[in-house]
Amino acid sequence: IETHGSLVLQFPVYWFNCPPLLKKWLDDVFAYGWAYGSGGGDKLKDRKTALAVTAGIKEEDYREEGKYRYTLEQLLTPFETTFLYCRANYRSFFAYYGKETKPGINDESASSDLETNVREYLNFIDSL
């Protein structure tokens, strides 16, 4: 992390959270004295940080009036708060929605959707 300018955590939304191994990694790496606190705890200070997630369900389900009653932004708030606690420069998140309803890229519309998403993701990364 220290040798790169930006930090983007990329993961699938798993039971409305990150996968357990990513949580363990965060617990192990974002430690007192390194990510925050005294004794050099400033390694994330002002570092551009962001999230890139794949969300299995459709975007419209991630609305307050949607099926699950919470936006993806609300569900990702603990990550934003963690970055802010470490005094990082949190830049938001990028999401690819509806993968469980788009089972493959064999048809032309799914392939086009994926290509569009790749371009949007690259633009997001470039804008950090």
pLDDT value of residue 88: 97
Does the pLDDT value for residue 101 go beyond 80? no
Percent of the chain, pLDDT > 70? 90
Percent of the chain, pLDDT > 90? 79
Does the pLDDT value for residue 110 go beyond 80? no
Mean pLDDT of the region 78-86: 97
pLDDT value of residue 108: 63
- pLDDT tens digits for range 23-56: 999 999 999 999 999 888 999 999 999 999 999 8
Which residue segments constitute the domains of the chain, with CATH numbers given? 6-126 (3.40.50.360)
Measured between alpha carbons, how far is 36 from 45 in angstroms, rounded to an integer? 8
Measured between alpha carbons, how far is 118 from 19 in angstroms, rounded to an integer? 22
Measured between alpha carbons, how far is 13 from 99 in angstroms, rounded to an integer? 11
Question: Looking at the DSSP assignment, which residues form a beta bridge with residue 24?
Answer: none
Does the pLDDT value for residue 102 go beyond 60? no
pTM, two decimal places: 0.89
- pLDDT tier, 100 (very low <50, low <70, confident <90, very high otherwise): low
